[in-house]
Structures are given as structure tokens and as C-alpha cells.
Structure 1
């Protein structure tokens, strides 16, 4: 058996202590199990996020839907809204290891005081074990990834008084604002997300447009509503008649002849 000198014993003790410290430090530096989802939205807009989980890859376990309900962020967006949501990446339910698979997003905005006076549109973030490189969202050095979209209000009339109602239409865009196909969307792999921030950035189009074609006529001051057969005609298509127009009721109760300014300039 080799003889160990006092000096060698000291080195061994130091080496063991260093290994323990390194092991402890390594544990402390483990990646977090969360990432932040946030949004940069137009004024008076809010998002709702529902996070859906599935069994991790290679797991044979399953969890009943009633035991695997999606956590929802900002479901009371009219009363309280927080732009930052902390999303868990891996969770365990009923002993089954689960991973985040997708975030279903609602983009909401109220345009009037009545409960039904709001528009809603969808967006999505998907999370996979693996993705093709060109399909993955990218992160800045600061750990932030941004995907983009543009929303536009579409207006129409409804009911016996031809009251204005609005529909929210949102499309994906690139960073420069060029419209793309589909709704706002991004995708990431599981190993991209720990400790990072994913941001949805939405702009609002400057102008509104009719929700249904051939029902309004564009004029210098805005839009006039075609009369149709009569005021009771709920469809009221123009069918080339650009002389007979009807009044309509704004969200605030005003009876108007032109949208969106209510009355023509000079009248």
C-alpha cells in the first residue's frame, strides 16, 4: 500500500471539498422550470392564456381531463389584467410527469359598455420536444423572443335598429408589419424556454372596414349603409344601388348616417 505524505493528504482533502462545492453549485445552477409569457397590445386590449399539458415523451401514464385542467391566466381580463404570466414547463399530476404542449391565446377588447360589446380573436404558441430549425422561434441575447400580429376592427349592423357591432380580426405579421397567413403564432422546443421570455406584439390597424361585402358604400367622409329592400331588410345588400342609404345606431346610442363620424362634414 503506497504511503501518502501529509502534503498529499491536504491536497486530497482540498480536492474533495472542491468537488462538493462544484456539485452544490451545479445543482444551484439548474435551469428553472418556468418561462414568462407577456404581450405588448394596443390600448384597452388584453389576452387570456390557457396552458395545456400532455404526458412527457416516453411516459406511459395518462391523466383524465378532469385532473389535467389547463391553468388560465387573465380569465377576468375585464376586472384585472396582468401582462406577465409565469408558465410552468413541467408539472406532475396524479403521479404522471407532464410537459407544456401549447398555449391557446385569446385577444380581447371591449368597444362598448354592454357585456356583449367586445371582440375576440385567437393566437397560439406550440411547444414540442423537437422542431425543424426554421420553425423555431429565436431568442435575443437578453433571452426574449417576439412574435407579431395586427388586429383590425370589422363593423356591421345587426337587429331591428341596425345597431353597430364589431368583429375583431387578427393576422400574423412579420417584424416589419407585413401581413402573413394565419393567426399570430410561434413555436418553441422545451429546451429553449427555461428562464426565457416569449412576447406577443400586436398592433391595431388605423382604419376599420366592413365585415360583410356589398353592404356599405365608401364615401369621402367614411361609409354609408345601403338601405336594401327596406329598413327591416337585415341583409340589406347594395346590389348596385348607391343612392338609397339608411340610418344606423352607434354603440353609444346615437342615430347616424355615416360611419365612423356619425354625420357628414358640414352637416
Structure 2
């Protein structure tokens, strides 16, 4: 399906002398400070800049991807254009979508992801937009946490990643990490995604694990074939499980009691 972007997305520009950004091609630096075994993939999205009457479609490739091959060619820092020209149409960035990937094992499928986002607008209320320090850097802070469960008759551990934003007081809040900026804030500046990893993991499904000294024990349920295996008040019968590398364990995450 072809999707069309029209130049009036940003509104109309009364006169170039009044501050239209047509013709600019500045970039900003995006970088990330992530925990070990983490990476990001970014997609910068563009639409016709203010005052443009041209159109582009998805077939014109108006978006830019960064770290597409995040497993093998990852780089934490990239220059992202604020304005670019596609087929003679001047485009302005309006969004950067960030997929945060984290691996927990050696197999190709031993990973999970969550997301963050940068929103860019022509104008924002002062309380909505992020600020920059004297060095020209602005931080988007977040915290990710692993949750774990078992799958299959051998009860292999699989993990899910959940990332939340961290407010100015350092508190983890609802919603994914997000930062909002105006177009004129970004040229020549640096936006940094700071992600910390929670100290403890948690079960992804309630009443399936029991907290014990040193970790968590998996309730047996009806049998190993019982995929959910809720405890249902039975906190004495536990099962073994297997770590992603195949090792059989009785307590998570330390494996042995």
C-alpha cells in the first residue's frame, strides 16, 4: 500500500524571512549508553517541511534506519539529519522510533526488545520539550527490567524485556522512555538515551514462582506438561527447569541452591 506525505503537514509558512527552515540540512548526534548485551535500532521518520507543497510516498524511502544489523555492525553513535531532500522535496524529521534489543543467551532467538521514541515538532509548550545542558547534550533516561518464565515440557527459561521512563527525580514511571524536541533545538546538539538495568528480575506470570533465599523456585503444577503450572497454594512441590544454555537448575537465577 502506498502512503503519501503532503507538505502541509507542518502547517503553512507565511514567508521565508519569518523563520522557515527550508534549505537547511543540519544534523544532530544520537547516542546511547546501554547495559551490556544491549543494542538499539533507530528509524528516523521524515515528512515535507513547513511550507513545502510537494509529496513523497513510502516508495520514495523517506525514512532512515540506523543499526539495522544491530547484532553484527552495531555503533552507539550516529549523525541523524534534521532536514533532508528526497526527489527534490525538502523533508523535516518528525519522529525517531527506537527498538531496544537485549540478548540473554547464545541462540539466535534468545533476545527480547522494547521501545523508546523521540518526538520532534515545529513547536512545543515549554514544559513538553527537553532542555540541553551547556555542552549541548540532552538525556532521555529509562530503566529496563527482565521478567522470566518457562516454556515447553522441559521448562526452558525465556525472558521478556520491559523498559520504562525515569523522571527528573530518578523515579521509574509509567510509559516508555520518550523525549520531545522542536526542530530548531536539534541542529548541532546531542541526544543521549541512558538506559539502566534493574537490579532484580521478576516472574512474568504471577503465582508461578516462589521467592526463596537466593532466588526463585518454580512451582510444579500438575506436571511438566502443565505450561502455566500455577502454584495454587502449593508451595512445597517444585520443578527443575533449564537455563537458555540447556543446564538443568532448581533455583533461578543461581541454578543451584
TM-score normalised by structure 1 residue count: 0.85
Q: Provide closer, same or farther for how the CA distance between residues 130 and 32 of structure 1 changes in structure 2, counting only shifts above 3 A.
A: same
Q: Structure 2: how far apart are the matches of 1:95 and 1:70?
A: 15
Q: Which of 68-77 and 186-195 deviates more?
A: 68-77
Give the total of aligned pairs.
235
Residue 69 of structure 2 aligns to a residue whose secondary structure is coil
| 1:81 has 2:69 as partner | no
Following superposition of structure 1 onto structure 2, how do residues 52-201 of structure 1 map, counting pairs within 5 Å? Answer: 52-201=45-194
- Specify which of 195, 204, 221 is matched with residue 202 of structure 1: 195
Structure 1 position 180, deviation (Å): 1.6
- What does residue 207 of structure 2 align with? 214
Structure in which a larger fraction of residues adopt helix: 1
Shift of 1:91: 1.1
* Mean Cα deviation higher: 106-115 or 173-182: 173-182
Structure 1 unaligned residues grouped into runs of 5+: 1-29
Q: Determine helix, strand or coil for the equivalent of 1:66.
A: helix
- CA distance, structure 1, for counterparts of residue 192 and residue 138 of structure 2: 6
Corresponding position: 1:240 with 2:233: yes
- Say if 2:165 and 2:173, in contact at 8 Å, map to a contact too: yes
* Structure 1: distance between partners of 2:186 and 2:27: 8
In structure 2, distance between residues paired with 1:73 and 1:224: 41
Deviations 1:9-44 (A, max 9, x none): xxxxxxxxxxxxxxxxxxxxx986100000111122
Q: TM-score, normalised by structure 2?
A: 0.88
Q: Which residue of 1 aligns with 2:223?
A: 230
Does structure 2 conserve the Cα–Cα contact (< 8 Å) formed by 1:55 and 1:98? yes
Measured on the aligned residues, the alpha-carbon RMSD in Å equals 1.4
Contact 1:31 1:194 in 2 (8 A): no
Query: Which consecutive unaligned segments of at least 5 residues does structure 2 have?
Result: 1-22
Supply the distance in 2 between the matched residues of 1:71 and 1:158 (Cα, whole angstroms). Answer: 37
Greater share of residues in strand: 2
